[in-house]
Structure 1
């Protein structure tokens, strides 16, 4: 017969991991021999898996969902919550009640909405803000930014800066922390009014933790664009590069990260399109390292991969490009060392501008390197030629005019032709120009023009 603690009902993950047949989550459990074993399973099987999980040892669950049975950032599917991992700032043990009071006091002092859940991990606590709607993978840079700012607000009471990434696993409710012998338990629930934990729109949390509100960020961007009239000369007129140790990128980094992430998504879309067109056992032969190199560069720029996880992410990405591919790691050594420099805070001083040490190519460079055709560009989001960008801009403006009630040229010509025919019929009946104008709802001058 199973011990009583094995029968405790685990419900906490079901509050944020909704049922999905497309997504996976990962469970890590300590084995009898002391090692850790990871298993991935579809979210739809969540209830069965967590009830079968061992409760008398360390057991962890991924907080994000993934497209494949592998919790690497390259396989990210969605982000259902924001979280913060707190550990005691000293060796002094804090009971759950003290943790709860400390966390809620910080939330009140900092103006942050209280967490949906506070989970005691057996030593520290996990704070979780469940989102109204899970964020798609495209929003990872903004999610990372919010995670960082949340952690900074709780830093003085033990926020762990290394436990903020999308691949993170946190202890599972009702399992034992073998380091302390304490059980992991939910110690606080902020009621959403329906007996369930409260859910927050992502924008609400983001605007609370970001240094500037969204409207102010937009205003700052307008000022930067307006100030580009006095921008420095072109690259061939600038001084040579030099590395500056310990630099910081500031608030502009969030837009920079978003662009890098979207370029990564474009490269994955391009690889999928070409694989479908070519077919065969190795559709990307001759291009695999090109895709792998630049994808890892953009993953690092977007903070989706860090030096500690670089080679594991490289392995997962290589497997998605060509299963079983044994690539040459030496060909990635340059981008790996640049990633290390990037996360150590180094910047490149380039004509008075602070740039990251990783590669930041122009669209024209990527189009040339990958040989991207006009038809392929139409299915991409950010890697576009000036011609494609102008075409999209013209299309957007046409849509805006159409939504505002304006007719396209063909519809306008058809309407004008109809009015001319009606005007002629009325004139043949002997009506005056004024009467024709009143009947058609136009001015007298317009009636004259229709009858010319």
Structure 2
């Protein structure tokens, strides 16, 4: 139990939010017994979470529900290596030798610690906690780290922010091996540091001209705009479903299809996206069967594969479709498909009409103290009329007064005085 507590406290030092503790239990419908605790409660309850197949969440949640959309703090990055499942199986020790000779400090930073999970190896990097809004950047870095270790059979399905891994000091029931932890260092990384040091598209160059700098900036914008767009699209669906109180009978098929498609593009994995889609479906007031969900979202899987097919993408772009293969819905199409009202659009970020965009621009201008054009024109007319009347009175009192003198009295230019006299 001391090993388990040491593991969780090392990982969640000064954490904020709920931590999920899980244990395999066939008596539960999900096959998992799962509860959430505040960090300070862990020492008291951990004795109930011992023995075989015990796990805890890598990140924390703002409410006791282990879902990506409930993330409170993103506290770590991780890569799960299924070395036993390679075509040419390796032991965790052999994998570690490979990592130390080929990867640590070269293609990826050295992890803070590693979990010997019984048959595989999990690498863990502790980061300065960041909130949910940093999820697109976090996912980009997470996917990058996983991709660097593909040759070692890294698991792309274990890259979501709600992931759980085994607790040190517990037992893997598949082979009865004890889960052990290899602590390497306690340096806390930042997302930006890993991004700058290891992501090829973002590596800084000391000597670059303005053109090179511009190209690099465009790459960064394109990369993260893509992650952010897919993230915000699926988040808009969640907002819409919540606004409708999860009573979405008339739109279940379209909502689930779009959610799986955008989740696939965001996670880079259609099967993981299907898991999230099934979880979403279960929250509907009248959910579909799992088989129905798989059938109606099957085309999302195909579109995702097409989108990741370089040859097909080039072919489609040559035909005049700049966005490439896959589905590329306009906002107008999405609003029509889902029957989104103007009132609902006010709560969404990206799936909005031209009218809603203009409304937001107007609100922003007003908040920044920028008046509307019609109001500005009326205000200028009033100012002009007031100045004309002032000039009329000055000339009436002193017919020989010069434009320069009028200009000084009214704090305007002599030329403007000449223009205003035309209105007399």
Shared fold (TM-score, shorter chain, > 0.5): yes
Structure 1: runs of 5 or more not aligned: 192-197, 225-250, 276-281
Which of 201, 205, 208 is the equivalent residue of 2:194? Answer: 205
What residue is the counterpart of 1:109 in the other structure?
106
Report Cα offsets for 1:186-235 as digits up to 9, x if no partner: 512244xxxxxx241x33323333332299999459989xxxxxxxxxxx
Number of equivalences: 397
| Residue in structure 1 matching 2:241, options 242, 259, 271 | 271
**SS class of match (1:109):** coil
Distance 1:414 1:388, change over 3 A: same
Contact 1:121 1:177 in 2 (8 A): no
Give me the whole-angstrom Cα distance separating, in 1, the residues matched to 2:6 and 2:135. Answer: 34
The match for 1:238 is none
C-alpha RMSD of matched pairs (Å)? 4.8
For the pair 1:300 / 2:264, whether they are aligned, the reply is: yes
Match of 2:334 among 346, 351, 366: 366
Secondary structure of 2:250's match?
coil
Unaligned ranges ≥5, structure 2: 205-210
- Larger % of helix: which? 2
Distance 1:360 1:296, change over 3 A: same
Alignment of 1:44-443 (within 5 A): 47-48=42-43, 51-66=46-61, 69-73=64-68, 79-86=74-81, 90-94=89-93, 99=96, 102-103=99-100, 106-110=103-107, 113-115=109-111, 117-121=112-116, 125-136=121-132, 139-155=134-150, 159-177=154-172, 179=175, 181-191=177-187, 198-200=188-190, 202-213=191-202, 219=214, 255-275=225-245, 283-303=247-267, 306-307=270-271, 310=274, 312-322=275-285, 325-327=287-289, 329-330=291-292, 332-339=294-301, 342-343=304-305, 345-346=308-309, 349-350=315-316, 352=318, 359-392=327-360, 402=370, 409=376, 413=380, 416=383, 420=387, 424=391, 427=394, 433-438=403-408, 441-443=411-413
When normalised by structure 2's length, the TM-score is 0.71
Equivalence for 1:230: none
Q: Return closer, same or farther for 1:199/1:317 CA change in 2, 3 Å cut-off.
A: same
Checking the alignment, whether the CA contact within 8 Å between 2:16 and 2:72 is kept in structure 1 is no
Q: Cα distance, 1:39 vs. partner?
A: 0.6
Q: SS in structure 1 opposite 2:106? A: helix
**Partner secondary structure for residue 142 of structure 2:** helix
Residue pair 2:394, 2:406 contacting (<8 A) in 1 also: yes
